[in-house]
């Protein structure tokens, strides 16, 4: 991947913290989204847009990194999460869900569907395993089951089952039940597409 750094003195994101990797990773089992390399993307930070900058999303720790130039060369900086409004890596758009006390839904979520009345979000998750090889400790990260979230009526709802969806849209229980029954294979093979199609079918009636 092409790493494009931006000058530290020319950006409002220079107040981030230099990032130091905490885990030795082997076998390309990394903790990042798409790639362990920096990828060109866009960022909305503290209300200011930045385009074509090198970003890397650490799924495991839920932090966003940027590649910056300074007087000492090029450094990885961890952006202050509370200032990240949204970002885009490749064709994938993410937003930050603000932290709320006792909330199951917070942090960076991929936007799978964005409709006038609702959104479908996906929280990517990585699990860690620790290995010891001749007194050398290293770590591997694997994708874990993601969390899907529906944003509707100014609230975020984690979705784990059909009943969770029916609680959000109680007037459409029958339609939801029929959709689940008719699309079992799609739900098993591609949960993202399954939920996207379900919400699109509901959207016209909301």
Percent of all residues in the chain with a pLDDT value above 70, rounded to a whole number: 90
Whole-model pTM: value is 0.89
Q: CA 27 to CA 112: how far, in whole Å? A: 29
What is the pLDDT, as a whole number, of residue 10?
Answer: 53
Task: Find the range with the poorest average confidence among 17-21, 94-98, 150-154.
Answer: 17-21
Q: What is the DSSP letter of 104?
A: S
Helix (H) or strand (E) holding 187: helix 184-189
**Average pLDDT estimate for 128-154:** 91
Longest CA–CA span in the chain (Å) reads 63
Q: Domain segments of the chain: what residues?
A: 6-160, 161-206
Q: CA 69 to CA 10: how far, in whole Å? A: 10
Q: What is the DSSP letter of 116?
A: S
Task: Find the range with the poorest average confidence among 91-95, 114-118, 120-124.
Answer: 114-118
Task: Find the range with the poorest average confidence among 100-109, 110-119, 153-162.
Answer: 100-109
pLDDT (tens digit per residue) in 8-35: 445 567 666 777 778 777 778 899 999 9
């Amino acid at each position: 991947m092409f790493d494009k750094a931006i000058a530290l003195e020319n950006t409002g994101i220079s107040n981030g913290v230099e990032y130091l990797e905490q885990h030795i990773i082997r076998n390309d089992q990394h903790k990042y989204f798409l790639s362990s390399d920096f990828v060109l993307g866009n960022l909305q930070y503290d209300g200011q847009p930045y385009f074509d900058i090198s970003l890397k999303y650490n799924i495991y720790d839920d932090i966003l990194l940027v590649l910056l130039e300074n007087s000492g060369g090029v450094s990885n900086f961890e952006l202050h999460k509370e200032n990240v409004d949204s970002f885009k890596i490749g064709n994938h758009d993410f937003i930050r869900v603000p932290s709320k006390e006792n909330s199951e839904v917070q942090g960076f979520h991929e936007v799978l569907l964005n409709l006038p009345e609702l959104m479908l979000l996906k929280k990517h998750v990585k699990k860690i395993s620790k290995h010891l090889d001749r007194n050398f400790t290293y770590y591997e990260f694997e994708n874990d089951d993601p969390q899907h979230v529906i944003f509707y009526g100014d609230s975020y709802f984690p979705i784990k089952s059909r009943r969770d969806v029916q609680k959000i849209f109680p007037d459409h229980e029958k339609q939801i039940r029929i959709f689940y029954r008719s699309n079992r294979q799609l739900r098993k093979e591609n949960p993202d597409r399954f939920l996207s199609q379900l919400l699109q079918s509901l959207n016209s009636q909301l």
